[in-house]
Amino acid sequence: MGLVYFLWTNFKVLRNERLAKRTLVFGAFLILALLLILPLLPEEFPSAPIALAYMFVGRYVADKHQMTKMGIAASTGFAFHSNWRVFGLGLLCMLASVIIVAVPLVYLAFLRG
């Protein structure tokens, strides 16, 4: 969820409304698909491939459509955020992700008895 938030925010700052909207739509679709698929996977299914695919897609989108670190440093219109701000927002996104994923899974486990 944090990945979607950070990509969306960067597109908003870059004033690319089309890709900002696409990021939200595809991100919501991906999160919903994961919520529907995860309960159907076997217990021993490794989570690493899902996380790696998610990160790979996010990195690809950022590299292809957003500014590089050197581009930001060279620009006069953009600046870096503090590491503490990024860390704090990352923690909030992680907490939101846990809630969004864990609550439905716990509910499904409760229904199964």
**Mean pLDDT of residues grouped by 10 in the chain (113 residues)?**
91 95 95 84 88 92 93 88 91 89 81 79
Residue count (the chain) = 113
* pLDDT, position 6: 92
Burial 65-101 (b: 16+ CB within 10 A, else e): ebeeeeeeeeeeeeeeeeeeeeeeeeeebeeebeeee
Residue ranges per structural domain of the chain: 2-112
Half-sphere exposure in the Cβ direction for 74 (13 Å, CA): 5
Q: What is the pLDDT of residues 55-73, one digit of tens each?
A: 999 999 999 999 988 999 8
